[in-house]
Structure 1
Amino acid sequence: MKKSKMLLAAMVGTLLTGSQAYAEKTQLSALFMAQAAYSEQDIENMTEAFEKANPNVDVKMEFVAYEALHDKIVLSHNASDGYDVVLFDVIWPAEFARYGLLTDVSDKIDNSTKADILEGAWTTVEYGGKYYGMPWIVDTKYLFYNKKMLSEAGISKAPVTWAELASQAKIIKDKGIVEYPLVWSWSQSEAVICDYATLLSAMGGEFLDGNEKPVFQQGGGLHALEYMVDSIKMGLTNPNSREYSEEDVRRTFSSGQAAFAVNWTYMYNLANDPKESSIAGHVGIAPAPGAANISKASAVNGSMGLGVTSNSKNKDIAWDYIKHLTSQPVQEGFAKLSLPVWKSSYDNPEIAKGQEELLKAAKVGLAAMYPRPTKASYQEMSSILQVAIQEALLGTKAPTEALNEAADAVSDLD
């Protein structure tokens, strides 16, 4: 508690010297995600520091599940009580730019700021050469593993290829250490697309070709889905993965019901917390594996940004709030569930302390982040692909059939 108060005081001091309190009482409305990355408490603490520095600003925060975030932003656009600040996914700027949902803030971002932030993070807020916000969450999926289970199976190190992962999982299963060694977030949602994209990228696949035509139904895209299906058929993947979100994965892995899990950054410290996990102290993390003769590692770009809505009546104050949340001191003060977007933060020993393995994996994973398609109709494309993947995972269609039908449907989108 004492450390939190000191951190809060430091952030308030930074803000007070960098900006003046607003003269008139202003209420901001901000929309955030209630899963993965920063916790609600983290964001509330960050916001409290901003409000203390600006006593005439009151920030009303709303937290929703990721699956509700996109539609909340869209539906609130013309509402009288719409949001001023919204958290948005890397896959949405094209659509939001087309419909004018976010404010172009390109003129507010100087060259120094551009140079100081991780290059991959900027893809989160950029579309058509313009910036629609500030990067806030830089994230990708990692391979988590139970060190104790691997040791009991006689396995000395984490797998570096997906084929090796399947082999290790089979050894663990055959030795009776755990019934289902693998757990994933494969519910019919964007979660399954992120896991699929990770595998697709490792296996040399692409979602679309240079002419924006689907090619995920062949090559690495097909191999990725076949790998997913085979892991269920072999009894290596927990079949409940087909209904799981990231939080389900965290709970399953943290309760000792899996040897391996694929999940976002936030799970590392929670799975190592004795209050949250029965396997604390036995959690390993590595970059998601690669594929022999194709890739060394794999990763999906799961980053998110903060933007000012185009209909906000308090755009300047909203931008100041975003600058506060995304500032280096604030991000470094809350770096246990989400790593900073600032390059120099990764050389800060305070950030690395207690999570050296995470930062080592992050240096590889963040450099390998594979993007999902940047197109205004991405939501429709994703929904089509989600259904196809689910059909294959449930065994109602073969991977080839499911992906071919999805490719035909995606071809009809604009």
Structure 2
Amino acid sequence: MTLKLRAALMAATALCGTSAMAETTLNALFMAQAAYSEDDIRAMTASFESAHPDVKINLEFVPYEGLHDKTVLSQGAGGGYDVVLFDVIWPAEYSENGILLDVSDKITEDMKAGILPGAWTTVDYDGKSYGMPWILDTKYLFYNKDMLKQAGIDTPPATWAELQEDAQTIKDAGLVDHPIVWSWAQAEAAICDYTTLLSAFGGDFLKEGAPEFQTGGGLDALHYMVDSYKSGLTNPNSKEFLEEDVRNVFQNGDAAFALNWTYMYNLANTSEESKVAGNVGVVPAPGVEGSSSVSAVNGSMGLGIPSTSENPDLAWDYIVHMTSQPVQDTYAKLSLPIWQSSYEDTAVTAGQEELIDAASKSLAAMYPRPMTPRYQEMSMALQQGIQEALLGMASPEDALQGAADNSGL
């Protein structure tokens, strides 16, 4: 460990003020995909344990798809979690059902002033804060620079229509069979891609509490997905892919374009296993002429304390450490910091200037998925509708109307 890294982590631990009782164990639930790697999280945690020798953090990693249910089911299990990672879409449900503690009184003025304003939307609901923002993220359009150059394309697409045109040019040139890859498995990943498109086409999820996605921009978004799929421009396996599948296809050189989260930039650009390292470009997800210049989904996540935790004060100290600026700046290659001044630090920005330039536009345009206690039910209905449309089992109109009818809203 370098002296600079050691100093940064020790500075972070100094932010934690509660003394631990002997041999206290905290159970923490994290995600085993995207954003920070498991190794990064273990290193962050080790520095906290080093400063708190009587504390042991028991880390559990699950796929994103297991985070919600693991958190909810642990409420009645006894000996559950002390710290959990949660998605921006869950605070409404968690608030209504008393899943997470309200930590509003623990948020300091320095935190409020130093953290990017948009990051607070990750953890806030109905005037209360249910944790600290930790992962500030949206989906970007990644592209293979060399492949575009070979096809005679000078600049990456600025609109979704241009993406289709460029993909067709690349396909016609014989550079790759299916130029675009997405994460359209029947999971939340597909909703994130759909939200990005919905935002570009000027759609709405809800209007006065009722489903609105089956009309206007929401319908246009699904038509775009189906058209891209049926044309062969989209990898047909996209309907079964999650984000890691997208990364693997792209970094294997089997796609010219991919929609994915921040973490893919440095992994695909530097990993020894990537065949496209050094050729990965990134821009904001495109817009729609006359409607939007860029598009983005709010894919941020926070760290919170379950209401059943027996060590909430120590859990908060751990969260403060994990979300602190020194820690976030040290591990900024897979997830960009939540702190405003971090972007003035060349140690953070060096080597990822292109990504940060894209982030300056995308993070300002992040479109929220609905903040409703019934979100899980709505999302599952919409996931099914998207699959039905992609598979030709229903028209986009019928698929979205069915999702609206089954949304529970």
TM-score if structure 2 supplies the norm length?
0.98
Partners in 2 of 1:46 and 1:318 — Cα distance?
14
Task: State the aligned residue count.
Answer: 409
Task: Please tell me whether residue 314 in structure 1 is matched to residue 311 in structure 2.
Answer: yes
Task: Please tell me whether residue 331 in structure 1 is matched to residue 328 in structure 2.
Answer: yes
Number of the residue aligned with 1:223: 220
Partners in 2 of 1:17 and 1:361 — Cα distance?
31
Number of the residue aligned with 1:232: 229
Partners in 2 of 1:15 and 1:176 — Cα distance?
54
Number of the residue aligned with 1:368: 365
Is this contact kept in 1: 2:15–2:320, CA < 8 A?
Answer: no
Partners in 2 of 1:200 and 1:191 — Cα distance?
14
CA offset at residue 7 of structure 1? 1.2
Number of the residue aligned with 2:99: 101
Number of the residue aligned with 2:272: 275
Q: Tell me the amino acid that sits aligned with residue 290 of structure 1.
A: G
Q: Any unmatched runs of 5+ in structure 1?
A: none
Task: Please tell me whether residue 346 in structure 1 is matched to residue 343 in structure 2.
Answer: yes
Q: State which of 209, 228, 236 in structure 2 corresponds to 1:212.
A: 209
Q: 1:407 to 1:16 in 2, by over 3 A?
A: closer
CA offset at residue 118 of structure 1? 1.2
Task: Please tell me whether residue 132 in structure 1 is matched to residue 167 in structure 2.
Answer: no
Number of the residue aligned with 2:199: 201
- Secondary structure of 1:370's partner? coil
Partners in 1 of 2:15 and 2:261 — Cα distance?
35
Number of the residue aligned with 2:288: 291
Query: C-alpha offsets along residues 46-103 of structure 1, whole Å, 9 cap, x if unaligned?
Result: 0000000000110000000000110000000122220000000000000001110100
Partners in 2 of 1:289 and 1:232 — Cα distance?
18
The runs of 4+ residues in structure 1 deviating greater than 6 Å are: none
Partners in 1 of 2:18 and 2:213 — Cα distance?
52
Is this contact kept in 2: 1:21–1:56, CA < 8 A?
Answer: no
CA offset at residue 233 of structure 1? 1.3
CA offset at residue 110 of structure 1? 2.3
- Secondary structure of 1:364's partner? helix
Query: C-alpha offsets along residues 255-278 of structure 1, whole Å, 9 cap, x if unaligned?
Result: 000000000000000001241300
Query: C-alpha offsets along residues 140-187 of structure 1, whole Å, 9 cap, x if unaligned?
Result: 000000000000000000000000000000000011110000000000
Q: Tell me the amino acid that sits aligned with residue 283 of structure 1.
A: V
Q: State which of 394, 398, 406 in structure 2 corresponds to 1:409.
A: 406
Query: C-alpha offsets along residues 241-266 of structure 1, whole Å, 9 cap, x if unaligned?
Result: 00000000000000000000000000
Q: State which of 37, 46, 53 in structure 1 corresponds to 2:35.
A: 37
Is this contact kept in 2: 1:27–1:57, CA < 8 A?
Answer: yes
Number of the residue aligned with 2:299: 302
Q: Any unmatched runs of 5+ in structure 2?
A: none
- Secondary structure of 1:216's partner? coil
- Secondary structure of 2:293's partner? strand
1:31-110 matches, cutoff 5 A: 31-110=29-108
Number of the residue aligned with 1:254: 251
Is this contact kept in 2: 1:274–1:280, CA < 8 A?
Answer: yes
Partners in 2 of 1:252 and 1:131 — Cα distance?
38
TM-score if structure 1 supplies the norm length?
0.97
Moved more, 120-129 or 110-119: 110-119
Q: Tell me the amino acid that sits aligned with residue 242 of structure 2.
A: S
Is this contact kept in 1: 2:18–2:314, CA < 8 A?
Answer: no
Partners in 2 of 1:92 and 1:18 — Cα distance?
27
- Secondary structure of 1:82's partner? coil
CA offset at residue 23 of structure 1? 4.3
- Secondary structure of 2:80's partner? coil
Is this contact kept in 2: 1:22–1:54, CA < 8 A?
Answer: yes
Number of the residue aligned with 2:149: 151
Query: C-alpha offsets along residues 266-291 of structure 1, whole Å, 9 cap, x if unaligned?
Result: 00000012413000010000000000
